[in-house]
Structure 1
Amino acid sequence: MTALLLAVIYLAFISLGLPDSLLGSGWPTMQNDFGVPSSYAGYVSMSISFMTIISALIAPVLIRRFKTHNIVVISILLTVLGLMGFSFASSYAMLFLFVIPYGLGAGSVDSALNNYVAKHYSSSVMNFLHCFYGVGAMISPYIMSLALSRARWNEGYRWTAYIQSGIMLVCLLSFPLWKKNAETSDDDESDSTGIISALKIRGVIPTLIAFYAYCSGEATCFLWTSSYFVGAKQGISTELAAAFGSLIFGGLMFGRLISAFVSNKLGDRLLIRIGIAVEVFGTLLIFLPLKSYIPAAVGFVITGIGMGPVYPAIQHMAPENFGRKNSAAVIGLQMASAYIGSTFMPMVFGLLQQALGIAIMPIYLAFFALLSISLLEFAYKRIPSHTTV
């Protein structure tokens, strides 16, 4: 029963990743249809992120009232509505009506599932869970590509909505598994704390800033890696530079896969320390003033490998560090911090690189990596020993 429920949770995390890559892969065609500049994709993306932040912040209240399995189904339903709305949008302005369910459907389910896995499963499972998010994020560009070759971009959103509907049906049918697991667990969300109470716990705020810092670096890599090769390395084609945009994703997935096999033995804190050390080493390779692009390409892969375990490990430590009854609120805050960092800091880097040149990217990445580990180490010293109950 436990293995079957875990399979459902993995499937739900695939559904979480599915919508995230559609806008980027479909936007070149969408902008032509809507007659708007390319930069307008940023407004849609930021609106989705804003709704996701709100959803993450209200997640602790929702978990107390509706339980994780209900939140999963409702959130996927909201995402389906958002995807279907995008597929029927006939103007750019219509997109902003549907970013509401699109974004709200992401934050709560992300927080709820991370909290559930952190409380009931090992660190290894948490790392595998985030690998499955990557599977969803990697599938959706292929769905959009197929839609663009066979029909129009609208069908890419519609087909993804159909897949999401199938996953939602599986999650509905899995309700007996969730209830069975609840009967054999002493976990009760009814007495979990709220956001304000969680913020008062020693060590929470530096952990949130550390999580924000980590996600700032990660998202900057997602957006600017290809541009780095075009701007900082000579003699590289735009096609090859575009392909190099996947280096960080490949490294990230590989890092989480490795971590899934060693995390139970090493523990979350040591895994984070090793991961960030590897990440900083990767940024040093990127920073080397060499004409060849190969060291930088290897550096981005190594940077991704180092990043791999950090996000899952911070999430998994929440019940142990801050107490099981506080974990839902803390993880909700962590998700909000993550989305703030990933939404705004790549834009900040864009402004910096315009003024100073894109070659500063490895320095920017190393700064956030070192800021993250410094704050985490500071938080560890402030965490009360009694919060593990």
Structure 2
Amino acid sequence: MRKEKILILISFLAFISLGLPDGLLGVAWPFISDRLQVPLDRLGILLISFVAGYLSSSLSNSKIMEKVSLGLLLTMSCFLTGTSLFAFVLIEEWFLLIIAAYFLGTGGGAIDTSINVFASAKFSASVVNWLHAFYGIGATSGPLILTAFIIQGHTWKAGYWSVGSIQILLGILFFATSKLWEQQDKEDNTSSHTSYIKILSQPKVWVSIMLFFLYTGTEIGIGQWLYSILIKSRGVSEASGGFWVSAYWGSLTLGRIVFGFVLIKVATPKVIFLAASGLILGTLVLFLNINMQLSFMAVVLVGLSCAPIFPSMISSVNNWFGTHQAGTIIGFQVSAAMMGGALLPAFSGFLSRQYGLEIITLVFFIQAILLLIGYIMLKVKVV
């Protein structure tokens, strides 16, 4: 039991390290784009490169784990993300930044996939929600760290140096505790190898894949584009914009902590339905832009609504499809989630080049509607 508690704590730290770079980029991107003299919509290319790296490590995770223990994998992944963040500061060429984003995604993908697989086998649904809350802590801390440096007169580079150093320190911690992970690797090594063709022949599977694609594309898209929309389109100051982004990630984090307790007593399907409905309302108010106060409340509502959706859907896969298919399907879902996290924000960026930044808030609203429709289809078994 003591070893399990230690691993839970370290897993929380791993997800903090996963969230830190995601929260940084949304605030730093306007400065990076000015420095490299590239348009704002090039963020989409950077995110696609990040996701390509993520997929390369997540899809090969099982083969990597055959040769490397989980603790060592986490160690190497943190070192890789740390050095990639340092590269963001040092690089002066756009194409080199794309390469750095690829390796940043590679490290993040290894951390995300390995810990999620481990948690699904070892931890309860509430702990999984809390685990993802620590991702939010990292994503919330990133903008706060960067904004604090900017307010104090430093450049965005100071934030990247600091977060990169934190990644390296976490890597050292994982290396120091690698034997604990290795012991756990030898336990519960049972997995079902259901045919991919058989699994993908089920329409319900594709609907669930679409849900993860839409949800993550919306969550990441809001986190990445909100700052640019506020300071470039709505006249919000840089300091206030950073606070709004932190409020978004912070409400998402708080929501996951709270919903970890709520899910002990409230049925998971009800929580997902209410959260998806709240997401629709929040994105609608953000799109309407009635006034700053309502828009800020909408950002907080969107963060709270996003909070339980991803971990609760992960926890529901066994009920949706049965334990014999769950492992394989989760792999498809997580991969789809990362693709959505890159492609949908990129799509929003391409639209903004033609129709302006405000079109992005309309895209968020439409994605939220599609998410609820897809979940209803899955729940009532109409597919």
- TM-score normalised by the chain length of structure 2: 0.82
Moved more, 302-311 or 58-67: 58-67
What is the deviation of 1:10? 0.4
Distance change (3 Å), C-alpha of 1:95 and 1:303: closer
Pick from 149, 162, 165: which aligns with 1:162? 165
Corresponding residue of 1:340: 339
Q: Secondary structure at the match of 2:59?
A: helix
Most deviating of 49-58 and 192-201: 192-201
Q: Does 1:56 align with 2:58?
A: yes
Gaps of 5+ in 1: 384-389
1:387 alignment partner in structure 2: none
User: Which residue matches 1:312?
Assistant: 311
| Shift in CA distance, 56/198, structure 1 to aligned 2, threshold 3 Å | farther
Give a deviation string over 1:36-78, Cα, whole Å, max 9, x none: 5555554333312221133233334445664644432332233
One-letter amino acid of the counterpart of residue 166, structure 1: L
Is the Cα contact below 8 Å between 1:278 and 1:302 reproduced in 2?
yes
Q: Offset of 1:261 from its aligned partner? A: 1.3
Alignment check: 8 A CA contact 2:283 2:368 kept: no
Give the whole-Å Cα distance in 2 for the aligned partners of 1:247 and 1:313.
22
Q: Are 2:44 and 2:347, in contact at CA under 8 Å, matched by a contact in 1?
A: no
Q: Report the Cα distance in structure 2 between the residues aligned to 1:289 and 1:90, rounded to whole angstroms.
A: 37
RMSD: 3.6
What is the correspondence of 1:215-226 to structure 2 with a 5 Å cutoff? 215-226=216-227
Deviations 1:100-149 (A, max 9, x none): 42221111321221122122212211111111112222333455567776
Q: 2:282: which partner in 1?
A: 282
Q: Does 1:251 align with 2:251?
A: yes
Q: Please report how far the alpha carbon of residue 82 of structure 1 lies from its aligned counterpart in structure 2 after TM superposition.
A: 2.4
| 1:225–1:84 CA distance, 2 compared to 1 (3 A) | closer
1:243-287 CA distance string (max 9 Å, x none)? 434443233223212211111222332221121122223344446
Moved more, 86-95 or 123-132: 86-95
One-letter amino acid of the counterpart of residue 277, structure 1: S
Structure 1 pair 95–193 and aligned structure 2 pair: CA distance change class (3 A): farther
Q: Which segment drifts farther, 145-154 or 123-132?
A: 145-154
Write the letter of the residue equivalent to 2:117.
Answer: N
Cα displacement (A) at 1:167:
1.2
- Please give the per-residue CA displacement for 1:289-346, whole angstroms capped at 9, x wherever unaligned: 84x3322322222122111110111122234434445444333322221222222223
Aligned to 2:139: 137
Q: Is the 8 A contact 1:252 1:307 kept in 2?
A: yes
Asked whether the 8 Å contact 2:285–2:295 carries over to 1, the reply is yes
Q: Which residue in the other structure is 1:76 paired with?
A: 78
The structural deviation recorded for 1:352 is 4.5
Aligned length, in residue pairs: 379
User: Could you tell which deviates more after superposition, 151-160 or 38-47?
Assistant: 151-160
**Structure 2 letter corresponding to 1:293:** M
304-313 vs 348-357, greater mean Cα deviation: 348-357
Aligned equivalents of 2:230, 2:32: Cα separation in 1: 26
Distance in 1 (CA, whole Å) between partners of 2:43 and 2:362 is: 27
1:172 and 2:192 are equivalent in the alignment: no
Distance (whole Å) between structure 2 residues aligned to residue 301 and residue 143 of structure 1: 20
Look up the match of 2:267: 267
The CA deviation at 1:17 is 1.5
106-115 or 174-183, larger mean C-alpha shift: 174-183
Letter in 2 for 1:217: T
Instruction: Summarize the Cα distance change of 1:382–1:71 in structure 2 as closer, same or farther, 3 Å threshold.
Output: farther
Supply the AA of the counterpart residue of 1:253. Answer: T
Cα distance in 2 for residues equivalent to 1:65 and 1:227 = 43
Q: Secondary structure at the match of 1:188?
A: coil
Mean CA deviation greater in 86-95 or 330-339: 86-95
Structure 1 match to 2:17: 15
Structure 1 residues 189, 200: closer, same or farther in 2, change over 3 A?
farther
Letter in 2 for 1:129: L
Q: Distance in 1 between matches of 2:70 and 2:336?
A: 21
Residues 202 and 242 of structure 1: CA distance in aligned 2, closer, same or farther (over 3 Å) = same
